[in-house]
Amino acid sequence: MGLSLVRCPFCDRRYNVTGIPPGTRVLCTSCRTVLTVPGNRFVAPPPFWHRFVPRSGAAQAISALFGGLVLATVALAIALKESQLPPVASTPTRDSTTLKSPPTDPDTKSAFLVGNVSENLKRVFDDFGSNPRFEIYKSANLKPFVLIGEKDPGADLAVIFAQFEDLLPKLYRTFMEEFGKPLKLERIEDPELPIVFYTKRQSYDAWWRGVYRKPPIPEVYGVFSYLERRVNLYYDIALDNIDSGRTREVLLHEAIHQLVDHYTRRRKKSDCHGAWWFQEGLGNYFEGYYLTEGELTLTPGKMTSRLPLARELLTTRASEYQPLKFLIVWDVDSIWSKWLGVSSPEERKEQVQKLQCHYAQVWAFVHFLCHESDGKYREFFLEYFQCELQGQGGWDTFSRLLNRHHPEIKELNQLEEQFKEYLKKL
Protein backbone atom coordinates (compact mmCIF):
# COMPACT_ATOMS: atom_id res chain seq x y z
CA MET A 1 0.00 0.00 0.00
CA GLY A 2 1.38 3.42 -0.98
CA LEU A 3 2.01 6.40 1.28
CA SER A 4 -0.04 9.58 0.80
CA LEU A 5 1.46 12.87 2.01
CA VAL A 6 0.18 16.43 2.25
CA ARG A 7 2.56 19.38 2.45
CA CYS A 8 1.89 22.60 4.32
CA PRO A 9 2.54 25.45 1.83
CA PHE A 10 3.54 27.85 4.60
CA CYS A 11 6.03 25.94 6.75
CA ASP A 12 6.82 23.05 4.37
CA ARG A 13 5.98 20.38 6.94
CA ARG A 14 4.71 17.08 5.51
CA TYR A 15 2.06 14.83 7.01
CA ASN A 16 1.06 11.24 6.34
CA VAL A 17 -2.66 11.30 5.44
CA THR A 18 -2.89 7.72 4.20
CA GLY A 19 -6.38 6.41 4.87
CA ILE A 20 -7.92 9.86 5.47
CA PRO A 21 -10.73 10.70 3.01
CA PRO A 22 -10.06 13.44 0.42
CA GLY A 23 -11.44 16.83 1.41
CA THR A 24 -10.87 16.20 5.13
CA ARG A 25 -9.36 19.19 6.91
CA VAL A 26 -6.34 18.62 9.12
CA LEU A 27 -4.28 21.01 11.20
CA CYS A 28 -0.59 21.74 10.70
CA THR A 29 0.89 21.37 14.18
CA SER A 30 3.72 23.74 13.33
CA CYS A 31 2.03 26.86 11.93
CA ARG A 32 -1.65 26.07 12.66
CA THR A 33 -2.66 26.27 9.00
CA VAL A 34 -5.76 24.25 8.10
CA LEU A 35 -4.85 21.84 5.30
CA THR A 36 -7.17 19.88 3.00
CA VAL A 37 -6.39 16.25 2.21
CA PRO A 38 -6.05 15.97 -1.59
CA GLY A 39 -7.67 13.26 -3.65
CA ASN A 40 -5.67 10.03 -3.70
CA ARG A 41 -6.41 6.34 -4.17
CA PHE A 42 -5.10 5.22 -0.81
CA VAL A 43 -7.96 6.47 1.30
CA ALA A 44 -10.35 4.63 3.52
CA PRO A 45 -14.03 5.60 3.49
CA PRO A 46 -15.51 6.70 6.80
CA PRO A 47 -17.09 3.90 8.83
CA PHE A 48 -20.59 3.06 7.57
CA TRP A 49 -22.05 3.80 10.97
CA HIS A 50 -20.63 7.32 11.04
CA ARG A 51 -23.71 8.80 9.36
CA PHE A 52 -26.12 6.98 11.60
CA VAL A 53 -24.91 7.91 15.07
CA PRO A 54 -28.08 8.12 17.17
CA ARG A 55 -28.97 11.30 19.02
CA SER A 56 -30.20 11.19 22.59
CA GLY A 57 -33.94 11.86 22.72
CA ALA A 58 -33.69 12.79 26.37
CA ALA A 59 -30.97 15.32 25.63
CA GLN A 60 -33.07 16.86 22.85
CA ALA A 61 -36.09 17.11 25.15
CA ILE A 62 -34.07 18.81 27.86
CA SER A 63 -32.54 21.21 25.34
CA ALA A 64 -36.02 22.09 24.04
CA LEU A 65 -37.24 22.75 27.59
CA PHE A 66 -34.29 25.00 28.35
CA GLY A 67 -34.76 26.78 25.02
CA GLY A 68 -38.38 27.55 25.96
CA LEU A 69 -37.36 28.91 29.33
CA VAL A 70 -34.66 31.02 27.68
CA LEU A 71 -37.04 32.59 25.17
CA ALA A 72 -39.65 33.20 27.84
CA THR A 73 -37.29 35.04 30.13
CA VAL A 74 -35.71 37.09 27.31
CA ALA A 75 -39.07 38.58 26.42
CA LEU A 76 -39.86 39.48 30.03
CA ALA A 77 -36.42 40.95 30.71
CA ILE A 78 -36.59 43.16 27.63
CA ALA A 79 -40.11 44.30 28.46
CA LEU A 80 -39.11 45.31 32.00
CA LYS A 81 -36.12 47.36 30.85
CA GLU A 82 -37.26 48.68 27.48
CA SER A 83 -38.33 52.06 28.79
CA GLN A 84 -34.93 52.61 30.44
CA LEU A 85 -32.75 51.66 27.52
CA PRO A 86 -31.52 54.15 24.89
CA PRO A 87 -32.37 53.44 21.26
CA VAL A 88 -30.00 51.00 19.62
CA ALA A 89 -29.21 50.25 16.01
CA SER A 90 -30.27 46.73 15.18
CA THR A 91 -31.77 44.55 12.54
CA PRO A 92 -35.38 45.32 11.45
CA THR A 93 -37.88 44.91 14.27
CA ARG A 94 -39.36 41.44 14.56
CA ASP A 95 -42.85 40.55 15.71
CA SER A 96 -42.84 40.04 19.45
CA THR A 97 -44.14 36.82 20.95
CA THR A 98 -46.02 36.46 24.21
CA LEU A 99 -43.94 34.24 26.50
CA LYS A 100 -44.31 32.83 29.99
CA SER A 101 -42.58 34.26 33.04
CA PRO A 102 -39.03 33.08 33.76
CA PRO A 103 -38.32 30.31 36.26
CA THR A 104 -37.93 31.49 39.85
CA ASP A 105 -35.57 28.75 41.03
CA PRO A 106 -32.22 30.55 41.57
CA ASP A 107 -30.36 27.28 41.21
CA THR A 108 -31.71 26.54 37.75
CA LYS A 109 -28.55 26.49 35.66
CA SER A 110 -29.93 28.06 32.49
CA ALA A 111 -32.36 30.47 34.15
CA PHE A 112 -32.12 34.10 33.04
CA LEU A 113 -31.52 36.69 35.69
CA VAL A 114 -34.31 39.24 35.20
CA GLY A 115 -33.10 42.79 35.65
CA ASN A 116 -30.27 44.67 34.01
CA VAL A 117 -30.18 43.89 30.30
CA SER A 118 -27.33 45.82 28.73
CA GLU A 119 -27.60 47.58 25.40
CA ASN A 120 -25.10 45.13 24.00
CA LEU A 121 -27.11 42.13 25.13
CA LYS A 122 -30.37 43.67 23.92
CA ARG A 123 -28.91 43.77 20.41
CA VAL A 124 -28.18 40.06 20.69
CA PHE A 125 -31.78 39.35 21.70
CA ASP A 126 -33.01 41.48 18.80
CA ASP A 127 -30.76 39.68 16.33
CA PHE A 128 -31.15 36.09 17.50
CA GLY A 129 -34.00 35.83 20.01
CA SER A 130 -36.68 34.95 17.48
CA ASN A 131 -34.43 33.30 14.92
CA PRO A 132 -35.19 29.56 14.94
CA ARG A 133 -31.78 28.77 13.44
CA PHE A 134 -30.01 29.87 16.63
CA GLU A 135 -30.15 29.05 20.30
CA ILE A 136 -29.22 31.50 23.07
CA TYR A 137 -27.61 30.03 26.16
CA LYS A 138 -27.06 32.00 29.32
CA SER A 139 -26.38 30.69 32.81
CA ALA A 140 -25.05 31.90 36.14
CA ASN A 141 -22.04 29.61 35.70
CA LEU A 142 -21.18 31.16 32.34
CA LYS A 143 -20.97 34.79 33.50
CA PRO A 144 -19.90 37.20 32.18
CA PHE A 145 -20.41 35.51 28.80
CA VAL A 146 -23.53 34.60 26.83
CA LEU A 147 -23.46 31.97 24.07
CA ILE A 148 -25.41 31.95 20.81
CA GLY A 149 -25.07 28.79 18.72
CA GLU A 150 -26.24 27.94 15.22
CA LYS A 151 -28.27 24.74 15.11
CA ASP A 152 -27.04 21.95 12.88
CA PRO A 153 -27.90 18.23 12.67
CA GLY A 154 -24.23 17.38 13.07
CA ALA A 155 -23.64 19.66 16.06
CA ASP A 156 -24.73 18.81 19.58
CA LEU A 157 -25.25 22.32 20.94
CA ALA A 158 -25.78 21.05 24.48
CA VAL A 159 -22.31 19.50 24.45
CA ILE A 160 -20.70 22.58 22.88
CA PHE A 161 -22.42 24.89 25.38
CA ALA A 162 -21.20 22.70 28.24
CA GLN A 163 -17.60 22.76 26.95
CA PHE A 164 -17.63 26.54 26.57
CA GLU A 165 -19.34 26.96 29.94
CA ASP A 166 -16.49 25.04 31.53
CA LEU A 167 -13.76 26.98 29.72
CA LEU A 168 -14.86 30.63 29.52
CA PRO A 169 -15.30 31.31 33.27
CA LYS A 170 -11.80 29.89 33.79
CA LEU A 171 -10.52 32.31 31.21
CA TYR A 172 -12.15 35.24 32.99
CA ARG A 173 -10.88 34.18 36.41
CA THR A 174 -7.37 33.73 35.03
CA PHE A 175 -7.49 37.09 33.25
CA MET A 176 -8.56 38.84 36.46
CA GLU A 177 -5.87 37.08 38.48
CA GLU A 178 -3.14 37.91 35.96
CA PHE A 179 -4.12 41.49 35.13
CA GLY A 180 -7.50 42.45 36.60
CA LYS A 181 -6.40 42.60 40.22
CA PRO A 182 -3.10 44.43 39.60
CA LEU A 183 -4.89 46.95 37.37
CA LYS A 184 -7.87 47.21 39.78
CA LEU A 185 -10.38 46.32 37.08
CA GLU A 186 -13.95 46.07 38.31
CA ARG A 187 -15.54 42.64 38.03
CA ILE A 188 -18.27 42.03 35.44
CA GLU A 189 -21.16 40.86 37.57
CA ASP A 190 -23.86 40.42 34.90
CA PRO A 191 -24.02 38.44 31.65
CA GLU A 192 -22.54 41.00 29.32
CA LEU A 193 -20.30 39.50 26.63
CA PRO A 194 -21.96 37.64 23.72
CA ILE A 195 -20.15 34.94 21.77
CA VAL A 196 -21.79 33.73 18.55
CA PHE A 197 -20.61 30.55 16.90
CA TYR A 198 -21.71 29.40 13.46
CA THR A 199 -21.68 25.68 12.64
CA LYS A 200 -22.06 26.25 8.90
CA ARG A 201 -19.28 27.87 6.91
CA GLN A 202 -21.73 29.58 4.58
CA SER A 203 -23.47 31.23 7.55
CA TYR A 204 -20.18 32.50 8.95
CA ASP A 205 -19.10 33.75 5.53
CA ALA A 206 -22.43 35.53 5.05
CA TRP A 207 -22.02 37.24 8.42
CA TRP A 208 -18.48 38.30 7.43
CA ARG A 209 -19.63 39.84 4.15
CA GLY A 210 -22.45 41.65 5.92
CA VAL A 211 -20.14 43.28 8.47
CA TYR A 212 -16.92 43.88 6.52
CA ARG A 213 -18.33 44.22 2.98
CA LYS A 214 -15.40 42.09 1.81
CA PRO A 215 -14.92 38.43 0.88
CA PRO A 216 -14.25 36.23 3.93
CA ILE A 217 -10.73 35.06 4.74
CA PRO A 218 -10.77 31.24 4.75
CA GLU A 219 -7.89 30.99 7.23
CA VAL A 220 -9.63 33.18 9.84
CA TYR A 221 -11.93 31.08 12.01
CA GLY A 222 -13.02 33.78 14.41
CA VAL A 223 -12.87 37.49 15.17
CA PHE A 224 -14.03 39.93 17.77
CA SER A 225 -16.23 42.40 15.89
CA TYR A 226 -15.66 45.84 17.42
CA LEU A 227 -18.69 47.19 15.58
CA GLU A 228 -21.03 44.60 17.06
CA ARG A 229 -19.11 44.12 20.33
CA ARG A 230 -19.38 40.37 20.06
CA VAL A 231 -17.15 37.41 19.24
CA ASN A 232 -18.04 35.56 16.04
CA LEU A 233 -16.62 32.08 15.43
CA TYR A 234 -16.84 29.38 12.82
CA TYR A 235 -17.15 26.14 14.78
CA ASP A 236 -15.85 23.63 12.24
CA ILE A 237 -17.43 20.34 13.29
CA ALA A 238 -15.21 18.26 11.00
CA LEU A 239 -12.02 19.95 12.20
CA ASP A 240 -13.13 19.71 15.81
CA ASN A 241 -13.26 15.94 15.49
CA ILE A 242 -9.58 16.02 14.52
CA ASP A 243 -8.24 18.75 16.80
CA SER A 244 -10.70 20.36 19.21
CA GLY A 245 -7.81 22.42 20.56
CA ARG A 246 -7.92 24.64 17.49
CA THR A 247 -11.46 25.77 18.27
CA ARG A 248 -10.57 26.41 21.90
CA GLU A 249 -7.53 28.48 20.91
CA VAL A 250 -9.65 30.73 18.69
CA LEU A 251 -12.32 31.03 21.38
CA LEU A 252 -9.85 32.00 24.11
CA HIS A 253 -8.00 34.44 21.87
CA GLU A 254 -11.08 36.32 20.70
CA ALA A 255 -12.67 36.37 24.17
CA ILE A 256 -9.59 38.21 25.46
CA HIS A 257 -10.11 40.87 22.79
CA GLN A 258 -13.69 41.13 24.02
CA LEU A 259 -12.64 41.53 27.65
CA VAL A 260 -10.05 44.19 26.80
CA ASP A 261 -12.66 46.06 24.74
CA HIS A 262 -15.14 45.90 27.64
CA TYR A 263 -12.72 47.58 30.02
CA THR A 264 -11.36 49.98 27.40
CA ARG A 265 -14.80 51.43 26.69
CA ARG A 266 -15.07 52.48 30.33
CA ARG A 267 -11.69 54.19 30.45
CA LYS A 268 -10.85 55.40 26.97
CA LYS A 269 -9.60 58.98 26.82
CA SER A 270 -8.41 58.95 23.24
CA ASP A 271 -9.57 57.62 19.88
CA CYS A 272 -6.09 56.55 18.78
CA HIS A 273 -5.66 52.95 17.64
CA GLY A 274 -4.13 50.42 20.01
CA ALA A 275 -0.80 48.76 19.38
CA TRP A 276 -1.19 45.63 17.30
CA TRP A 277 1.54 43.72 19.15
CA PHE A 278 -0.24 44.32 22.46
CA GLN A 279 -3.74 43.38 21.30
CA GLU A 280 -2.72 40.20 19.47
CA GLY A 281 0.12 39.28 21.80
CA LEU A 282 -2.25 39.39 24.76
CA GLY A 283 -4.81 37.27 22.90
CA ASN A 284 -2.09 34.74 22.04
CA TYR A 285 -0.86 34.80 25.63
CA PHE A 286 -4.19 33.35 26.79
CA GLU A 287 -4.45 30.64 24.13
CA GLY A 288 -2.43 28.26 26.29
CA TYR A 289 -4.19 25.35 27.92
CA TYR A 290 -3.54 21.70 28.60
CA LEU A 291 -5.37 18.64 29.83
CA THR A 292 -4.36 17.21 33.18
CA GLU A 293 -6.31 14.33 34.65
CA GLY A 294 -9.15 15.16 32.26
CA GLU A 295 -9.32 18.77 33.46
CA LEU A 296 -8.79 21.66 31.06
CA THR A 297 -6.39 24.08 32.73
CA LEU A 298 -5.32 27.51 31.53
CA THR A 299 -1.65 28.37 31.77
CA PRO A 300 -1.22 31.86 30.32
CA GLY A 301 1.78 32.22 28.09
CA LYS A 302 2.76 28.55 28.17
CA MET A 303 1.75 25.32 26.44
CA THR A 304 0.99 27.25 23.27
CA SER A 305 1.22 26.22 19.64
CA ARG A 306 3.01 29.51 18.93
CA LEU A 307 6.28 28.41 20.52
CA PRO A 308 7.75 26.18 17.74
CA LEU A 309 7.33 28.87 15.09
CA ALA A 310 8.60 31.59 17.44
CA ARG A 311 11.82 29.63 17.93
CA GLU A 312 12.23 29.13 14.20
CA LEU A 313 12.21 32.92 13.74
CA LEU A 314 15.65 32.91 15.35
CA THR A 315 16.97 29.96 13.32
CA THR A 316 15.55 28.48 10.12
CA ARG A 317 13.14 31.37 9.44
CA ALA A 318 15.29 34.25 10.65
CA SER A 319 14.49 36.28 7.52
CA GLU A 320 10.86 36.50 8.68
CA TYR A 321 11.70 37.88 12.13
CA GLN A 322 10.50 41.46 12.59
CA PRO A 323 12.80 43.83 14.52
CA LEU A 324 11.01 45.39 17.47
CA LYS A 325 11.44 48.89 16.01
CA PHE A 326 8.97 47.85 13.30
CA LEU A 327 6.77 45.48 15.28
CA ILE A 328 6.01 47.95 18.06
CA VAL A 329 4.82 50.79 15.83
CA TRP A 330 2.10 48.83 13.99
CA ASP A 331 -1.45 49.64 15.02
CA VAL A 332 -4.47 47.40 14.60
CA ASP A 333 -5.75 49.08 11.45
CA SER A 334 -2.41 49.17 9.67
CA ILE A 335 -2.12 45.40 9.60
CA TRP A 336 -5.75 44.38 9.04
CA SER A 337 -6.26 46.86 6.25
CA LYS A 338 -3.80 44.74 4.27
CA TRP A 339 -5.90 41.66 4.98
CA LEU A 340 -9.11 43.27 3.80
CA GLY A 341 -7.39 44.44 0.65
CA VAL A 342 -6.13 40.98 -0.31
CA SER A 343 -7.76 39.57 -3.42
CA SER A 344 -5.68 36.86 -5.12
CA PRO A 345 -4.80 33.46 -3.59
CA GLU A 346 -1.11 34.28 -3.97
CA GLU A 347 -1.49 37.48 -1.97
CA ARG A 348 -3.48 35.71 0.70
CA LYS A 349 -0.90 32.95 0.99
CA GLU A 350 1.82 35.53 1.48
CA GLN A 351 -0.20 37.41 4.10
CA VAL A 352 -1.03 34.20 5.99
CA GLN A 353 2.62 33.28 6.16
CA LYS A 354 3.62 36.72 7.41
CA LEU A 355 0.84 36.90 9.98
CA GLN A 356 1.62 33.47 11.39
CA CYS A 357 5.17 34.60 12.03
CA HIS A 358 4.05 37.93 13.48
CA TYR A 359 1.54 36.26 15.80
CA ALA A 360 4.18 33.86 17.10
CA GLN A 361 6.56 36.74 17.73
CA VAL A 362 4.11 38.98 19.58
CA TRP A 363 3.05 36.03 21.76
CA ALA A 364 6.71 35.57 22.69
CA PHE A 365 7.16 39.31 23.32
CA VAL A 366 4.24 39.54 25.76
CA HIS A 367 5.49 36.38 27.47
CA PHE A 368 8.92 37.98 27.76
CA LEU A 369 7.59 41.21 29.27
CA CYS A 370 5.55 39.27 31.83
CA HIS A 371 8.10 36.65 32.86
CA GLU A 372 11.68 37.63 32.03
CA SER A 373 13.92 37.42 35.14
CA ASP A 374 10.99 36.62 37.44
CA GLY A 375 8.89 39.53 36.23
CA LYS A 376 11.59 42.17 35.75
CA TYR A 377 9.47 44.01 33.15
CA ARG A 378 6.03 43.14 34.53
CA GLU A 379 5.44 46.46 36.32
CA PHE A 380 6.33 48.28 33.13
CA PHE A 381 3.97 46.06 31.14
CA LEU A 382 1.11 46.60 33.60
CA GLU A 383 1.42 50.38 33.35
CA TYR A 384 1.55 50.12 29.58
CA PHE A 385 -1.55 47.87 29.76
CA GLN A 386 -3.34 50.61 31.69
CA CYS A 387 -2.45 53.13 29.00
CA GLU A 388 -3.83 50.82 26.31
CA LEU A 389 -7.12 50.61 28.23
CA GLN A 390 -7.23 54.42 28.20
CA GLY A 391 -6.60 54.56 24.45
CA GLN A 392 -3.12 55.95 24.98
CA GLY A 393 -0.94 53.05 23.87
CA GLY A 394 1.59 53.12 21.05
CA TRP A 395 5.28 53.61 20.53
CA ASP A 396 5.59 56.98 22.28
CA THR A 397 3.98 55.63 25.43
CA PHE A 398 6.01 52.42 25.26
CA SER A 399 9.27 54.34 24.92
CA ARG A 400 8.43 56.82 27.70
CA LEU A 401 7.39 54.16 30.22
CA LEU A 402 10.32 51.89 29.40
CA ASN A 403 12.74 54.77 29.97
CA ARG A 404 11.10 55.59 33.33
CA HIS A 405 10.94 52.01 34.61
CA HIS A 406 14.26 50.85 33.15
CA PRO A 407 16.64 53.75 32.58
CA GLU A 408 19.43 51.22 32.04
CA ILE A 409 17.86 50.39 28.65
CA LYS A 410 19.32 53.15 26.48
CA GLU A 411 18.43 51.68 23.10
CA LEU A 412 15.62 49.42 21.94
CA ASN A 413 18.10 46.91 20.55
CA GLN A 414 19.29 46.26 24.11
CA LEU A 415 15.79 45.10 25.01
CA GLU A 416 15.63 43.13 21.79
CA GLU A 417 18.80 41.18 22.54
CA GLN A 418 17.37 40.20 25.93
CA PHE A 419 14.15 39.17 24.22
CA LYS A 420 15.98 36.93 21.75
CA GLU A 421 18.00 35.26 24.49
CA TYR A 422 14.80 34.67 26.47
CA LEU A 423 13.10 33.14 23.46
CA LYS A 424 15.95 30.69 22.94
CA LYS A 425 15.46 29.39 26.48
CA LEU A 426 11.68 28.88 26.28
Question: How many CB atoms within 10 Å of residue 393?
Answer: 25
Residue 157 · residue 64 · CB < 8 Å: no
Least confident of 44-48, 52-56, 93-97, 223-227: 93-97
Cα of 278 vs its chain's centroid, Å:
15
SS3 of 163-229: the string is: HHHHHHHHHHHHHHHHHHCCCCCCCCCCCCEEEEEECCHHHHHHHHHHHHCCCCCCCCCEEEECCCC
218/55: higher pLDDT: 218
- Range from 68-72, 253-257, 344-348 that averages highest in pLDDT: 253-257
Q: Are strands 134-137 and 34-36 parallel, antiparallel or unpaired?
A: unpaired
Asked if 365 and 327 touch (Cβ cutoff 8 Å), the reply is yes
Summarize pLDDT for 175-227 with one digit per residue, the tens.
Answer: 999 999 999 999 998 889 999 999 999 999 999 999 988 888 888 899 999 88
> What is the model's pLDDT at position 204?
97
Instruction: Give the Cα separation of 24 and 34 in Å (integer).
Output: 10
Query: Is the pLDDT assigned to residue 278 strictly greater than 70?
Result: yes
Confidence of residue 5 (pLDDT cuts 50, 70, 90): low
Yes or no: say if 285 and 367 are a contact pair by the CB < 8 Å rule: yes
Q: Of the spans 19-28, 113-122, 400-409, which averages the highest pLDDT?
A: 400-409
Q: How much of the chain exceeds pLDDT 90, in percent?
A: 47
Q: What one-letter code names the amino acid at 326?
A: F
Q: Any idea where the domains of the chain sit in the sequence?
A: 5-47, 59-266, 278-425
**Pairing mode, if any, of strands 295-298 and 289-292?**
antiparallel
Give whichever of 122-126, 303-307, 386-390 has the largest mean pLDDT.
386-390
Distance CA 171, CA 297 (A): 9
Rounded to whole angstroms, the Cα distance separating 347 from 127 reads: 35
Q: Is cis: bond before 87, omega within 30 of 0?
A: no
DSSP 141: G
Radius of gyration of the chain (CA): 23
Of 155, 179, 156, the closest CA to residue 263 belongs to 179
pLDDT category at 7 given cuts 50, 70, 90 is: low
Looking at the predicted structure, is the pLDDT value of residue 109 above 90? no
User: Cβ atoms within 10 A of the Cβ of 96, count?
Assistant: 11
Q: What is the pLDDT of residue 411?
A: 94
pTM: predicted TM-score of the whole model, two decimal places: 0.73
Share of the chain above pLDDT 70, in %: 67
Q: How far apart are CA 69 and CA 351, in angstroms?
A: 46
pLDDT reading at 366 higher than 90: yes
- Beta carbons of 135 and 124 less than 8 angstroms apart: no
Q: What is the pLDDT of residue 285?
A: 93
Helix axes 276-285, 332-341, angle to 10 degrees: 80
Q: Is the pLDDT of residue 54 over 60?
A: no
Average predicted confidence (pLDDT) for the chain: 78
